[in-house]
Amino acid sequence: MSRLTKLVALTASLVLIAGCSLPRGAALSSEIMAEQRSDAPTFQVVPVTRNNMRAVETWPGTGNYRSFRWIGHTGAADTTVIATGDMIDLVIYDAEENSLLTNAAETSTRLQGLEVDQNGMIFVPYIGNVRVAGQSPTGARSSIQRQFESVVPSAQVLLTVAEGQGNSVDLAGGVTSPGTYPMPSRNYPIMSLISAGGGIIASYENPIVKLLRGGTTYEIFADDLFRSGARNTTLRPRDVVVVEEDDRTFVALGASGTEDLISFPKPRLSALEAMGLMGGLQDSRADPKGVLVLREYAPSALRADGSGPNRRQVVFTFDLTSADGLFAARQFNIYPDDTVLATESPVTAAQTIFGLFGSAVGFTTQVATVTE
């Protein structure tokens, strides 16, 4: 065997063991994929393509994934509605002599601070309990005056309302001026409330608006809320609104521009966009055929019929050297707590070996074709 042949054989052997003999910053794709070929795999490997994207999209969300639900805009008459806790003031005019309501020196009498009780009623002398809740001030005035007609036919009623806590909403946080805000009308939209509170805190990245109504919580990303008037839901008395900063993150690892815990900058994030946030793939290190997304599912999400994951731990793989892989990565949603891993190219280790020994044997460091 010639000296040159021996040197070539020696160098080839070094290339084969380079993955384990030299320090690397990321795993090789082949190392992870080997699990798929074992007799008892501990995780599932799913190559993602445009053909199976529709099926994968139906799999359950993971991490602190939020299946947001929201209430669309529901219009209402733009008028004040009397509610429990409101304070009613009545002025009753009667110019008749010997009036039951006034004396000789006055033509009117005032009834102030009549609180609407839990049954929606106020007490008015001579006519008793009168239901006013759910009516506009004009409607309540007309109702009281009609009931007075049988007692004092000439009486005229003036009614004013001071809104109580029962006709207000709470803006609990995430805005410049949180607090309790009275509802100026029955048609008071949530965007107007946020505006009244000075707007969302400017430092919040991708804020989430939460509406607490009774025992139910509704959530929507602020960007989605502001994008369409159809989402500008009408508030109800005693609603609570709070704005929170989005706390979803994913982990970036491997041969990318950065290795870090990265926040979601928008409501939905694709695998391709995640790679952009990671600073892309390192040209000298990364394997574009081995971009992986590592995800863990709850036991309740497992499916034996193929309609979902069959292992709790799943590795989704992407080949970014093909149009099919790029489009699949563009459609694939990253979930909170996912790990996006850019694996190491086997060429990297080979280049290191040839860099060490190439000058001695007369080779260059261009080994991409050798390692295919």
Question: What is the CATH classification number for the domain harbouring 275?
Answer: 3.10.560.10
In a domain, 74, yes or no: no
- Dist. CA 314–CA 332, nearest whole Å: 14
Q: Which of 190, 224, 244 is the last residue of a domain?
A: 244
In a domain, 73, yes or no: no
pLDDT at 353: 43
Which domain covers residue 104, as residue numbers? 87-162
7 and 106 both lie in a single domain:
no
239 and 256 both lie in a single domain:
no
- Dist. CA 114–CA 140, nearest whole Å: 13
276 and 356 both lie in a single domain:
yes
List average pLDDT for each run of 10 residues in the chain, which is 372 residues long.
48 46 53 67 90 92 78 67 87 77 75 92 92 91 90 88 80 95 85 96 92 93 91 91 93 93 90 95 89 94 90 94 94 95 72 46 44 46
* Bridge partners, 285 (sequence order): none
Kindly report the CATH number assigned to the domain that includes residue 122.
3.30.1950.10
In a domain, 82, yes or no: no
In a domain, 80, yes or no: no
331 and 291 both lie in a single domain:
yes
Structural domains of the chain, count: 3
128 and 198 both lie in a single domain:
no
202 and 269 both lie in a single domain:
no
pLDDT at 4: 43
* Bridge partners, 111 (sequence order): 90
With beta carbons less than 8 A apart as the criterion, state whether 191 and 80 touch.
no
Q: Which of 244, 268, 297 is the last residue of a domain?
A: 244
In a domain, 72, yes or no: no
pLDDT at 15: 43
205 and 299 both lie in a single domain:
no
100 and 204 both lie in a single domain:
no
pLDDT at 366: 47
131 and 148 both lie in a single domain:
yes
227 and 285 both lie in a single domain:
no
158 and 202 both lie in a single domain:
no
206 and 254 both lie in a single domain:
no
Interacting residues of 239 by C-beta distance below 8 A, sequence separation 6+? 169, 170, 211, 212, 213
- Dist. CA 189–CA 194, nearest whole Å: 9
In a domain, 69, yes or no: no
Q: Which of 196, 225, 244 is the last residue of a domain?
A: 244
SS3 track for the chain: CCHHHHHHHHHHHHHHHHHHHCCCCCCEHHHHHHHHHCCCCCCEEEECCCCCHHHHHCCCCCCCCCCCCCCCCCCCCCCCCCCCCCEEEEEEECCCCCCCCCCCCCCEEEEEEEECCCCCEEEECCCEEEECCCCCHHHHHHHHHHHHCCCCCCCEEEEEEECCHHHEEEEEECECCCEEEECCCCCCEHHHHHHHCCCECCCCCCCEEEEEECCEEEEEEHHHHHHCHHHCCECCCCCEEEEECCCCEEEEEECECCCEEEECCCCCCEHHHHHHHCCCECCCCEEEEEEEEEEECCHHHCCCCCCCCCCCEEEEEECCCCHHHHHHHHHCECCCCCEEEEEECHHHHHHHHHHHHHHHHCCCCCCCCCCC
In a domain, 43, yes or no: yes
In a domain, 79, yes or no: no
The pTM of this model reads 0.62
